[in-house]
Chain A
Amino acid sequence: MSDTTDTTAPPATRRPDRGRRLLKVYLEKPELAGLVLLVALVAFFQLRSDGVFLSEANLRGILGILPEVGLVAVGVTILMIAGEFDLSVGSVFALMPMSVTLLLNEGVPFAGAMLLGLGVCACVGVVNGVVTMRFAIPSFITTLGMLFVARSLTVVISGGFPPLLPLDIPSWLFTQFVGPVRLSMLWFVGIAVLLGLMLTRTNLGNWIRATGGNLEAAKSMGIPVQRVKLFCFVLCSMLAGLAGTIQVFRLGSPLPSLGEGLELQAVAAAVIGGTALAGGIGTVLGGVIGAVLLRVIDNGLVLTRVDANWFKFAVGTLLILAVVSNAWLRKTARRLKVET
Chain B
Amino acid sequence: MNAVTPTAAADALIACRGLHKWYSGVHALKGIDLDIRAGEVLGLVGDNGAGKSTLIKCLSGVETPDDGTIAVEGRTVRIGTPKRAMRLGIETIHQYNSMVPTMSIARNLFIGREPVRFGLGGVGLMDQRRMRREAVAALRDVDLHLRSADALVGELSGGQRQGVAIARAMHFRSRLLILDEPTNHLSVKETEKVLGFTRGLPAQGVTGIFISHNMHHVLETCDRVVAMARGEIVLDRRVADVGIDELHAVL
Q: Is the CB of B128 within 8 A of A223?
A: no
A214–B107 CB distance below 8 A: no
CA distance in complex: A218, B114 (Å): 13
Contact in complex: B83, A222 (CB < 8 Å): yes
Give chain B nearest CB distance to A302 CB in angstroms.
Answer: 38
- The residue on B at minimum CB distance from A3 is B189
For the complex, what is the distance from the CA of A6 to the CA of B140, rounded to whole Å?
11
Assess whether B112 is in contact with A221, with CB atoms less than 8 Å apart.
yes
Cβ-closest chain A residue relative to B190: A5
Interface majority SS on B: helix, strand, loop or mixed? loop
Chain B 147-181 per-residue mask, 1 if CB under 8 angstroms from chain A, else 0: 10001101111111001000000000000000000
Q: State whether the Cβ of B101 lies closer than 8 Å to any Cβ in chain A.
A: yes
Interchain CB contact (< 8 A) of A24 among B103, B152, B163: B152
Check: A202 CB closer than 8 A to any chain B CB. Answer: yes
Question: In whole angstroms, how far apart are the Cα atoms of A24 and B157 in the complex?
Answer: 15
Is the CB–CB distance between A206 and B159 below 8 Å? no
Looking at chain B, what size class is its interface with the partner chain?
A: 35 or more
Verify if B221 is at the interface (C-beta below 8 Å from A): no
Give the total of A residues in contact with B, Cβ under 8 Å: 38
CB pair B102–A202 under 8 Å, yes or no, is no
Instruction: Scan residues 294-340 of chain A and give those whose CB is less than 8 A from a CB of chain B.
Output: 333, 336-337, 340
Per-position contact with B for A219-250: 1 when CB-CB < 8 Å, else 0?
11111000000000000000000000000000
Are the CB atoms of B100 and A203 closer together than 8 Å? no
SS class of chain A's interface: helix, strand, loop or mixed?
A: helix
Given A2-B187, A5-B190, also A202-B99 (CB < 8 A): no
Contacts of A4 in B (CB 8 A): 157
- For the complex, is B111 an interface residue (Cβ under 8 Å from A)? yes
Inside 8 A of B100's CB, which chain A residues have their CB?
A: 209-210, 213-214, 217-218, 280
If A210-B103, A223-B111 touch, does A216 touch B96 (CB 8 Å cutoff)? yes
Among A6, A28, A217, A333, the most chain B Cβ lie within 10 Å of the Cβ of A217
- Chain B CB count within 10 A is highest, among A1, A203, A340, for A203
Which residues of B are found within 8 Å of A218, using beta-carbon distances?
100, 111-112
Q: Does A189 contact B (CB under 8 A)?
A: no
Q: A24-B152, A210-B103, A222-B61 are in contact. List 5 more A-B contacts (CB 8 A).
A: A2-B159, A2-B189, A24-B155, A206-B107, A214-B101
Q: Measuring CB to CB, which residues of chain B are less than 8 angstroms from any residue of chain A?
A: 60-62, 81-83, 86, 92, 94, 96-103, 107, 110-114, 116, 122-126, 128, 144-147, 151-152, 154-160, 163, 187, 189-190, 193
Would you list 25 pairs from A and B whose C-beta atoms are within 8 A, ordered by A residue? Answer: A2-B189, A2-B190, A4-B157, A9-B157, A27-B102, A27-B152, A27-B154, A28-B152, A201-B126, A202-B116, A202-B123, A203-B114, A206-B111, A210-B111, A213-B100, A213-B103, A214-B99, A217-B100, A219-B62, A220-B62, A220-B82, A222-B61, A223-B111, A333-B101, A340-B157
